[in-house]
C-alpha cells in the first residue's frame, strides 16, 4: 500500500504516528508522514518519507492568528495537493490533525483515525472527559454524570457546527453526528484496554478498536543509575516536556525523596532549573535527558505529570505510576491509572515535597499496585499494538 500519515503536533501525538509508520514500513508498505518540520530528522531516520505540514498560529500572537477551523481549512488546501501527488491507498490521521482526513475525503480515499490516548467520546454514566473524575461505582453516581450530559452535548454540537462550516467551505457535505473528526470507517485507540472504561453498546463509535499503546522515542544512549544499594527501589521522576515550566514537580520530588531509602533518577528534559537550584540528595542522579525505554524497565515507580505516552511506557515496564497531572488530558490519564489500580493520583495543588514522599511511599508499600502494574507489563510483552494496527489498516483498504 501507499500510506499517508498525518500528525501536526507535539510528541504525544506525533510519536505514536511514527511508531505506526515504522510498523507499516516493516510490513512492506510505502509510508509518507506529513508533520511539522521539527520532526523531519526523526521521520527520515526511520526510513519514512517526510512531507512538511503547514504550520499556523491558532492562538493570539502579535495580533495575527487563525481560529482553529480556519487553520484547518487552509491546511486542507495545502494537504490536498500532497494527496493528489501521492495518490495513497489510505490516509491515517491523528485525532487532532483534520486536514489530511478532509483532503482524503475530497479525493475519495479511505480514512482511518489514530487516537493516541484513551477514547474521549462520552457514554452513559461517564464523567466529562479530562476533568479528572473517575468512573462512578454506583447508579446514583452515574445519574449525576448523566445529568451533566446536556451541557457536554452542547459543547459537542458547537464543535459539530464549526466543523460543518469548514466542510462547507471545502465543498464537503455536512455531517449529522458529533465527533466528526474521528473516522467511522476505522478508529484505532492506542491505549491499554485496561485503561478504558467499560462502554455500553455504543452506536456512536463504530469500527473502533482499542489496540494498545504505540510506543516510540528518539534514539538516546544509556545513563548511569544513581549510586546506592542496588536492592533499594528505583524511582524515576519523569516530568512533562511541555508543562510545569518552573519544575514544581521535579523540585518537590528531589526534596521529598532526598532522605528516603530509595534511589532517585530524575530528568530536567533539557530545560534549565532556574535559581534557586534544588540540592540533590546522595541517593539521586539528575540528568538533562534520558531514554524511558531503556530506563523504565529498571524502575519500580515513575513519578510523572501523566502525559499519556510517559504513563503507558511506565505501565508497559511494570512500574507503578505516581500521577501528578498538570493540564489537558493529564487529569483524565491520572484518573484512569488510579481507577485501574496501577497508580497513585496526587492533585497538582498538593505537589509538595511531603505529599510526593507520601505518594511514592504508598506506591511502594501496596503490593496490589505493583501486581497490577506488572499485569500491564505482561500484557505489553504479549501483544503487538502496531502489528494489530497494520492489520486493521490493510483490512480497511481491502474492503
pLDDT tens string 26-42: 999 999 999 999 999 99
In angstroms, rounded to a whole number, what is the distance separating the alpha carbons of residues 12 and 391?
23
Whether residues 388 and 377 share a domain: the answer is no
Give the number of other CB atoms < 10 A from CB of residue 100. Answer: 29
In a domain, 223, yes or no: no
**Residues 378 and 14 sit within 8 Å (Cβ to Cβ):** no
Whether residues 289 and 309 share a domain: the answer is yes
Whether residues 338 and 388 share a domain: the answer is no
Whether residues 47 and 159 share a domain: the answer is yes
Is the model's pLDDT at 287 over the cut of 80? Answer: yes
Per residue in 227-246, pLDDT tens?
888 899 999 999 987 787 78
CATH number of the domain where residue 290 is located: 3.40.50.2000
Grid cell digits, residue 17: 504516528
In a domain, 225, yes or no: no
Q: Which of 220, 238, 375, 388 is nearest to 311 (CA)?
A: 238
- What value does the mean pLDDT take over residues 317-339? 95
Is the model's pLDDT at 60 over the cut of 50? Answer: no
The label of the residue with cell 474521528 reads 182
In angstroms, rounded to a whole number, what is the distance separating the alpha carbons of residues 341 and 324?
16
Q: 25 CB contacts (<8 Å, ≥6 apart)?
A: 31, 46, 47, 48
CA 272 to chain centre: 25
Q: Which of 150, 158, 152, 178 is nearest to 67 (CA)?
A: 158
Q: How confident is the model at residue 58 (pLDDT cuts 50, 70, 90)?
A: very low
**Residues 338 and 45 sit within 8 Å (Cβ to Cβ):** no
Of the chain, the percentage scoring pLDDT greater than 70 comes to 95
In angstroms, rounded to a whole number, what is the distance separating the alpha carbons of residues 305 and 214?
19
Whether residues 113 and 171 share a domain: the answer is yes
In a domain, 217, yes or no: no
In a domain, 134, yes or no: yes
Mean of per-residue pLDDT scores for the chain:
92
Domain with 179 in it: 2-212+383-398
Could you give the maximum distance between any two Cα atoms of the chain, in Å?
66
Is the model's pLDDT at 323 over the cut of 50? Answer: yes
In a domain, 221, yes or no: no
Whether residues 390 and 377 share a domain: the answer is no
Give the number of other CB atoms < 10 A from CB of residue 147. Answer: 9
Grid cell digits, residue 314: 511506565
Complete edge-to-edge strand list for the sheet that includes strand 320-323: 284-287, 263-267, 234-238, 301-304, 320-323, 343-345
Per residue in 240-274, pLDDT tens?
877 877 899 999 999 999 999 999 999 998 887 77
Whether residues 184 and 273 share a domain: the answer is no
Q: Which of 99, 133, 333 is nearest to 213 (CA)?
A: 333
Strand partners, 235: 264, 301
Strand partners, 236: 265, 302
In a domain, 45, yes or no: yes
Q: In terms of DSSP H, where are the helices of the chain?
A: 11-26, 40-45, 68-86, 98-106, 139-147, 149-170, 248-257, 292-295, 308-316, 330-339, 353-365, 367-382, 385-398
Whether residues 131 and 39 share a domain: the answer is yes
Per residue in 137-146, pLDDT tens?
999 999 999 9
Whether residues 174 and 272 share a domain: the answer is no
Is the model's pLDDT at 59 over the cut of 50? Answer: no
Residue 206 confidence (pLDDT): 78
Residue 202 confidence (pLDDT): 56
**Residues 25 and 2 sit within 8 Å (Cβ to Cβ):** no
Of the chain, the percentage scoring pLDDT greater than 90 comes to 80
Whether residues 320 and 337 share a domain: the answer is yes
- What value does the mean pLDDT take over residues 55-71? 61
Is the model's pLDDT at 367 over the cut of 80? Answer: yes
* pTM summary value: 0.93
Whether residues 262 and 291 share a domain: the answer is yes
In a domain, 108, yes or no: yes
Whether residues 147 and 242 share a domain: the answer is no
Per residue in 76-112, pLDDT tens?
999 999 999 999 999 999 999 999 999 999 999 999 9
In a domain, 307, yes or no: yes
Residue 66 confidence (pLDDT): 56
% helix, strand, coil for the chain, step of 5: 40, 15, 45
Number of domains in the chain: 2
Amino acid at each position: 500500500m501507499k500510506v499517508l500519515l498525518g500528525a501536526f503536533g507535539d510528541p504525544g501525538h506525533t510519536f505514536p504516528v511514527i511508531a505506526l509508520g515504522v510498523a507499516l514500513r516493516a510490513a512492506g508498505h510505502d509510508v509518507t508522514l506529513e508533520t511539522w518540520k521539527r520532526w523531519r530528522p526523526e521521520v527520515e531516520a526511520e526510513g519514512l518519507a517526510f512531507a512538511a505540514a503547514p504550520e499556523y498560529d491558532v492562538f493570539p500572537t502579535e495580533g495575527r492568528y487563525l481560529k482553529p477551523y480556519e487553520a484547518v481549512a487552509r491546511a486542507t488546501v495545502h494537504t490536498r495537493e500532497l494527496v493528489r501527488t501521492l495518490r495513497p491507498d489510505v490516509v491515517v490521521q491523528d485525532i487532532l490533525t483534520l486536514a489530511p482526513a478532509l483532503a482524503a475525503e475530497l479525493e475519495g480515499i479511505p480514512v482511518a483515525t489514530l487516537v493516541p490516548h484513551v477514547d474521549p467520546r462520552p457514554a452513559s454514566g461517564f464523567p466529562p472527559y479530562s476533568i479528572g473524575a473517575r468512573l462512578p461505582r454506583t447508579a446514583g453516581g452515574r445519574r449525576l454524570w448523566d445529568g451533566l450530559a446536556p451541557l457536554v452535548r452542547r459543547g459537542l454540537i458547537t464543535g459539530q457546527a464549526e466543523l460543518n462550516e469548514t466542510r462547507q467551505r471545502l465543498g464537503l457535505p455536512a455531517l449529522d453526528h458529533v465527533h466528526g473528526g474521528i473516522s467511522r470507517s476505522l478508529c484505532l485507540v492506542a491505549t491499554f484496554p485496561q485503561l478504558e472504561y467499560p462502554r455500553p453498546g455504543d452506536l456512536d463509535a463504530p469500527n473502533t478498536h482499542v489496540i494498545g499503546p504505540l510506543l516510540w522515542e528518539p534514539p538516546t544512549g544509556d545513563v548511569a543509575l544513581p549510586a546506592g544499594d542496588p536492592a533499594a527501589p528505583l524511582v524515576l521522576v519523569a516530568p512533562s516536556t511541555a508543562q510545569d515550566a518552573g519544575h514544581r514537580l521535579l523540585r518537590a520530588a528531589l526534596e521529598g525523596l532526598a532522605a528516603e531509602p530509595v534511589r532517585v533518577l530524575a530528568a530536567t528534559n533539557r530545560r534549565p532549573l532556574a535559581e534557586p537550584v534544588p540540592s540533590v540528595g546522595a541517593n539521586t542522579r539528575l540528568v538533562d535527558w534520558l531514554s524511558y525505554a531503556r530506563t523504565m524497565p529498571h524502575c519500580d515507580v515513575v513519578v510523572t505529570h501523566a502525559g499519556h505516552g510517559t504513563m503507558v511506557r511506565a505501565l508497559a515496564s511494570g512500574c507503578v505510576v505516581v500521577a501528578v497531572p498538570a493540564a489537558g488530558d493529564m487529569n483524565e490519564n491520572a484518573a484512569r491509572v488510579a481507577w485501574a489500580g496501577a497508580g497513585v493520583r496526587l492533585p497538582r495543588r498538593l505537589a509538595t515535597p511531603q505529599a510526593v514522599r507520601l505518594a511514592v511511599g504508598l506506591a511502594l508499600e501496596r503490593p496490589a499496585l505493583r501486581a497490577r502494574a506488572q499485569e500491564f507489563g505482561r500484557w505489553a510483552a504479549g501483544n503487538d499494538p502496531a502489528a494489530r494496527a497494520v492489520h486493521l489498516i490493510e483490512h480497511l483498504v481491502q474492503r
